[in-house]
Amino acid sequence: MKNLVTKCALPLSIVLILFSGCNTSTKTKEKKGTTESGQEAYVEVEVFDGAKIKDQVVETIRQMPSEKEVANLLMEAGASYIFDLTVPPEQAEKMMTKSEQSFGLGLYSFDLLYAGVYNRGDVAAQIGEVSEQIIDDLGLRNDLISTNEYMGKIKGNVDNKDSLDYFVTQNLNYFHEQMSEGDEPYVYALSVIGSNVEALYVLSQTTLLANNNEKLLSVMNMQDERVRLVFTLLEMMSEDENIKPYYEQFKPVVDIFEENQEITENELSEIGPLMESMRKNILD
């Protein structure tokens, strides 16, 4: 289980060895309208076959630093909560495909953690309702049966900071426990990518907006492992034509962290727009 408090860390090279050389995709037919004669037209596309590398997906996620760490560090650095950086609840209605909903579940999961840390019970309650709807849309209700109970506790403790933060954390721990044991590695991988993209987006934008961002730049300099492991997940799934554009778009962020010993204002000015653009493409 990916616990939001305790992590186990293994060298990235182990993960790369585990999945290198594996064909992680399968072919499927996707409808592309109709021909002039009125027949339905299809094209063959590569899609990610999560069952082939479920263990590697789960192991990579277990190594990932918790998203809550970013929210906590933002608070400790004295950064204000910025509601406008979160995903609007109504955006969920536009998430129609499985990949969009999986990414969205992750985006909202970080926003829920962010709200919990900053004692924004009103926001947490809204996000809880949206997350529950996405879980139902993805057909995960039986796998995540207790999320309904946790969300009820979150709504019942919107004015109690300690309890709110506790139940938000427990809900995310439960999500990781169930998904790591379940049969939806595709959804699990995309949701974790989404939550970490949101974490990096909120962190980078908050740092860019801050008048005195020395402490926030220090937080940004702690994100190299997160960046590498997000890229590892994207690389595993890059044979899926729906995911490949995000893999290619995230590569420059990885390069910045790998090529610079320190993230300064100059690097931040590149990372910020890259994360904003990637998040926008996920939501569009």
Q: Is residue 6, in this structure, part of any structural domain at all?
A: no
Q: Is residue 3, in this structure, part of any structural domain at all?
A: no
SS3 of residue 97 by DSSP? coil
Polymer length in residues for the chain = 284
Q: Is residue 7, in this structure, part of any structural domain at all?
A: no
Q: Is residue 2, in this structure, part of any structural domain at all?
A: no
SS (H, E, C) 155-177: HHCCCCHHHHHHHHHHHHHHHHH
Alpha carbon of 44 to those of 30, 39, 41, 236: distances in Å?
A: 6, 16, 10, 20
In sequence order, what are the residues at sequence separation of 6 or more whose Cβ sits closer than 8 angstroms to the Cβ of residue 195? 67, 106, 107, 109, 110
Could you report the per-residue pLDDT of 171-189, keeping only the tens digit for each? 999 999 999 999 999 999 9
Q: Is residue 259, in this structure, part of any structural domain at all?
A: yes
Could you report the per-residue pLDDT of 19-67, keeping only the tens digit for each? 444 455 555 554 455 666 666 655 554 555 656 789 999 999 999 999 9
What single string gives the DSSP state of each residue in 188-252?
HHHHHHHHHHHHHHHHHHHHHH-SS-HHHHHHHTT-HHHHHHHHHHHHHTTTSTTTHHHHHHHHH
Of 262, 114, 89, residue with least CA distance to 198: 114
Alpha carbon of 239 to those of 16, 26, 45: distances in Å?
A: 15, 9, 10
SS3 of residue 42 by DSSP? strand
Task: Quote the percentage of the chain above a pLDDT of 70.
Answer: 82
Instruction: Give the total number of structural domains in the chain.
Output: 1
The answer to whether 236 and 189 have CB atoms below 8 angstroms apart is: yes
Pairwise CA distance, residues 55 & 85, whole Å? 33
pLDDT number for residue 13: 40
Domain span at residue 273? 12-283
pLDDT number for residue 44: 52
Q: What is the pTM of this model?
A: 0.83
Q: Is residue 33, in this structure, part of any structural domain at all?
A: yes
pLDDT number for residue 149: 84
Q: Is residue 206, in this structure, part of any structural domain at all?
A: yes
Higher pLDDT among residues 50 and 282, named by residue: 282
Q: Is residue 1, in this structure, part of any structural domain at all?
A: no
